[in-house]
């Protein structure tokens, strides 16, 4: 494998490809998820190998104005630690800026801090969070 990867904004991605990508790294894939949410996004970035296999992804949700939100950053299990995640985040940030967004937000599990703060250039900020299913 030569490692050539191409990146595309609003790459035409099928739900089946998303299920395969999520399962490739041990994630809990939900059939129908991508078909259900893609229409609500500002955009997304797909990364594909030379054979056209989806090897990376990030979704960009937004408030319709100044704020964009990175969600669901994924890299195929066999392609991790090659800069693909960093590249999809970088392109997503460029496209969100080009759409007029002023801020790009991301939340993540503690083990991902090195990736988002180091490789992607996010900075730490105070934020609040409510786990809605836990509300009584």
pTM of the model: 0.90
Q: What is the pLDDT of residues 37-88, one digit of tens each?
A: 999 999 999 999 999 999 999 999 999 999 999 999 999 999 999 999 999 9
Which tens digits make up the pLDDT trace of 78-119?
999 999 999 999 999 999 999 999 999 999 888 999 999 999
Report CA-CA distances (Å) from 78 to 49, 84, 92: 11, 11, 22
DSSP state string for 50-74: TT--EEEEEEEEE-SSSEEEEEEEE
Domains, the chain, with CATH or none: 5-126 (3.40.630.30)
Q: Note the pLDDT of residue 133.
A: 87
List, in order, residues 6 or more apart from 5 with CB less than 8 Å away: 47, 48, 49, 55, 56, 79, 82, 84, 87
Are 105 and 116 spatial neighbours (Cβ–Cβ below 8 Å)?
Answer: no
């Amino acid at each position: 494998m030569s490692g050539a990867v191409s990146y595309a904004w609003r790459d035409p991605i099928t739900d089946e490809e998303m299920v395969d990508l999520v399962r490739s790294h041990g994630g809990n894939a939900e059939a129908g998820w991508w078909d259900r949410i893609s229409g609500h996004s500002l955009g997304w970035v797909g990364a594909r190998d030379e054979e056209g296999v989806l090897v990376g992804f990030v979704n960009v949700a937004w408030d319709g104005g100044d704020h964009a939100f990175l969600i669901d950053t994924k890299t195929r299990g066999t392609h991790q630690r090659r800069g693909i995640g960093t590249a999809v985040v970088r392109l997503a940030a460029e496209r969100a800026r080009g759409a007029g967004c002023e801020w790009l937000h991301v939340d993540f599990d503690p083990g991902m801090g090195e990736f988002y703060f180091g490789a992607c250039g996010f900075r730490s900020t105070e934020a609040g969070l409510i786990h809605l299913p836990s509300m009584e």
